[in-house]
């Protein structure tokens, strides 16, 4: 038995929330036999990035202009 | 009645038919053909096996798990407002923190959510904290939501360790529009006034909290 994590990243809404879904699949001989419930979190314009991968996305989407607009709401 | 003569085949050909001759189906390679009406034609065993796996369009009854992963289903009317195209159950990890950076130490903890269409319900069951990194003197939040709320939603919850300050009388949970956290706000039940700085004890527990909000 092995596991494989499927990561789905979506950019959602006016303020480009980075929406992450991790699903761990259980494989037997390379074939998926079961999946755990997905685990989710969201990174908003003012939220810190949990790692470099997400910091790159924040740099791309959470521009100073977007953050300023978000803070103005 | 004159006796009908069978067809005579010679040399791979057919001799000219004479009046009174008859032709059997097998004589011309159509031995399996008969006059069965369309309604009475049987289906093959393979066809029947395949048909047995199909549900009728009217009032189908499904057994097992139906897969709507590439679309969804309309309920009531075939319109966008009646389309259910998403359902998901999963987990999220809460963090109890403050606007000014203090955090509470939580045990290994998993919270659950259920998403039905655009509606998300998050649950917290016995979220225990054992220590805080400093006095929580500003807005208290539970971060780590699985989705950002697209509209404000709130609710009461049961806890031990969070208390209202000043003239406020209770602590409420509030999902804010466009945010990825739950705000723990205080409110005065008599005046309706509210504040944003509940007192956080060094240890405590949120016994149960459930909020439903809409997402984009």
Predicted pLDDT of residue B1: 54
Give the pLDDT band of residue B25 (cuts 50, 70, 90): confident
* Mean of the per-residue pLDDT values of chain B: 86
What's the pTM value of the predicted model, to 2 decimals?
0.77
Helix (H, G, I), strand (E, B) or coil at A52: helix
Q: Give one DSSP letter per residue of B19-56, joined into a string.
A: TTEE--GGGGT-TT-----GGGPPPPHHHHHHHHTPPP
Interchain contact A20–B (C-beta under 8 A): no
Strands (E) located in A13-64? 17-28, 31-35, 39-43
pLDDT, tens digit (0-9, with 9 covering 90-100), for B191-213: 877 777 888 898 999 999 999 99
For chain A, 73 residues long, give each residue's pLDDT as a single digit of tens.
899 999 999 999 889 999 999 999 999 999 999 999 999 999 999 998 988 989 999 999 999 999 999 988 8
Q: For residue A44, which residues of chain B lie inside 8 Å, CB to CB?
A: 148, 178-180
Q: Interface of chain B against chain A, CB under 8 Å?
A: 88-93, 112-113, 143-148, 150, 177-180, 215-216
* B148:A44 CB<8 A: yes
pLDDT, tens digit (0-9, with 9 covering 90-100), for B56-97: 999 988 888 888 888 899 999 999 999 999 999 999 999 998
């Amino acid at each position: 038995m092995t596991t494989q994590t499927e990561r789905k990243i979506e950019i959602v809404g006016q303020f480009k929330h980075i929406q992450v879904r991790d699903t761990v699949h259980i494989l037997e001989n390379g074939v998926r036999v079961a999946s755990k419930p997905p685990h989710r979190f969201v990174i908003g314009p003012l939220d810190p990035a949990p790692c470099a991968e997400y910091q790159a996305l924040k740099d791309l989407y959470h521009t100073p202009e977007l953050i300023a607009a978000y803070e103005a709401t | 009645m004159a006796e009908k003569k069978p067809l005579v085949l010679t040399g791979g050909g057919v001799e000219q038919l004479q009046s009174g001759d008859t032709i059997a189906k097998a004589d011309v390679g159509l031995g399996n053909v008969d006059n069965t009406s369309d309604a009475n034609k049987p289906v093959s065993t393979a066809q029947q096996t395949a048909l047995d796996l199909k549900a009728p369009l009217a009032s189908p009854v499904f057994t097992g798990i139906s897969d709507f992963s590439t679309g969804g289903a309309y309920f009531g009317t075939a319109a966008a407002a009646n389309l259910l195209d998403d359902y998901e159950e999963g987990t999220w990890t809460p963090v109890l923190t403050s606007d000014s950076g203090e955090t509470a130490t939580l045990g290994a903890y998993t919270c659950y959510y259920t998403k039905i269409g655009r509606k998300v319900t998050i649950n917290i069951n016995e979220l225990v904290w054992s220590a805080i990194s400093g006095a929580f003197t500003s807005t208290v939040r539970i971060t780590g939501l699985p989705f950002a709320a697209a509209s404000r939603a709130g609710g009461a919850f049961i806890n031990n360790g969070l208390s209202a300050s000043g003239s406020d009388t209770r602590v409420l949970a509030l999902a804010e529009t466009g945010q990825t956290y739950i705000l723990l706000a205080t409110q005065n039940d008599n005046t309706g006034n509210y504040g944003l700085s509940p007192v956080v004890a060094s240890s405590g527990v949120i016994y149960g909290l459930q909020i439903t909000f809409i997402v984009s």
